[in-house]
Amino acid sequence: MATNPMNQFEVYRIGPEIKLGAIDISFTNASLFMVISSLAILLIFNLGSKKNSLLPSKMQLLSELSYTFVSKMISDTAGSKAKPYFAFIFSIFMFVLFCNMFGMIPYAFTVTSHIIVTFILASFIFVGVTIIGFMKHGLGYLKLFVPSGVPAVLLPLIVVIEIISYLSRPVSLSVRLFANMMAGHTMMKVFGGFVISLGIVGGWLPLSFSVALTGLEILVAFLQAYVFAILTCIYLNDALNLHH
Amino acid sequence: MPKDSLKTRLEIAKNKLSKKNLYKNEEAPSSIGTAFKLSTELVSAVAVGTIIGFILDKTFGTKPWLILIFFFVGVVAGIINVFRSAKNMQK
């Protein structure tokens, strides 16, 4: 029985070792859970959209509800111009949500509790949004780094500050998701360990804490997926409607 | 005319819906999320500034100076970030 609360984040290889040059690309438990969540998303939305009846089945209701939820989120934060990017934001939201939620199952691995996963997701968003901005506005997108009404003496300093603040977006986006997931899961494991070590006499208090924490963690799992998607919308909004 | 009355009823319903949405937007999100958002905003800008300073120092060989300068620039950028997102929240 592993009592170390950080043991749950260990990545290990499943199956044979595969090498691509010097890079190890073997199939790990992290990749397994990514595949599982992607397959679950595909399954739910395929079943949900197979038969479009007027009286929706549970699967259809689920997929329709999530569709309207994300589409409302996009139109509220990024406006109607962001409609073409619906598929991207929807996939991001669903993937993060399913990874978080699968992590809540006991003995499952939480993919989003690793900063490299969230950082790659955030970098894709960052690079994509920057490319969209340059495609829409050309070199005028660089105006984002030059706020209006700044005296010429301060301009070089302000531009450097703006660039740093722009580059810090993917970092803050990824750290937020990763830190929330990792802190929550560590805390749950610690309280679980207390239950074991205090035994039948004193273990009831940490057990009740564990139950409460599980509820909180499910909320956090949803909330962080929502925050991740909504910040993507906000960055997209900055790229589409240039204003400062 | 029945068609017209349906149209006006539709308009009224749509108006109600948009008003409801407006009201919903004004609802504050959970405060722990807000606090966490602001803190990561501050920390990440400082980290990015420091990393840029470190890389520039390595390339130009000006060991301690650029990392010091960019650390403080990063702090300023972080504070600006926090101000901006706080302003966005109040909107």
Q: What is the pLDDT of residues B37-63, one digit of tens each?
A: 788 888 899 999 999 999 999 999 888
Task: Quote the domain boundaries for residue B73.
Answer: 2-90
For residue B70, list chain A residues with Cβ-Cβ distance below 8 A: 164
Is residue A36 a part of any domain in this protein?
no
Q: What is the pLDDT of residues A39-63, one digit of tens each?
A: 999 998 888 888 777 777 888 888 8
Sequence-distant (6+) residues with CB within 8 A of A17 are A24, A26
* Distance, first Cα to last Cα, chain B: 43
Among the partner residues B21, B33, B77, nearest to A168 by beta-carbon distance: B77
Is residue A95 a part of any domain in this protein?
yes
Residue showing tokens 């994509």: A128
Total number of domains constituting chain A: 1
In the structure, what pLDDT confidence band is assigned to residue B2 with cuts at 50, 70 and 90?
A: low
Q: Is the pLDDT of residue A68 over 70?
A: yes
Is residue A120 a part of any domain in this protein?
yes
Q: How far apart are CA B48 and CA B76, in angstroms?
A: 12
The pTM of the full predicted model, rounded to 2 decimals, is: 0.81
What single-letter DSSP state applies at residue B28?
Answer: P
The shortest C-alpha distance from B75 to chain A (Å) reads 9
Say what the pLDDT of residue B27 is.
45
Q: How far apart are CA A169 and CA A127, in angstroms?
A: 11
Q: Is the pLDDT of residue B26 over 50?
A: no
Q: Is the pLDDT of residue A32 over 80?
A: yes
Task: Quote the domain boundaries for residue A113.
Answer: 56-240
Q: Report the percent of chain A where pLDDT is more than 90.
A: 23
Total number of domains constituting chain B: 1
For residue A76, list chain B residues with Cβ-Cβ distance below 8 A: 21, 25
**Interface ipTM above 0.90:** no
In the structure, what pLDDT confidence band is assigned to residue A93 with cuts at 50, 70 and 90?
A: very high
Compute the 3-state secondary structure of chain A and give helix, strand, coil in percent, each to the nearest 5: 75, 0, 20
The shortest C-alpha distance from A67 to chain B (Å) reads 17
Is residue A189 a part of any domain in this protein?
yes
DSSP A66-133: HHHHHHHHHHHHT-GGGGGGHHHHHHHHHHHHHHHHHHTSTT---GGGSHHHHHHHHHHHHHHHHHHH
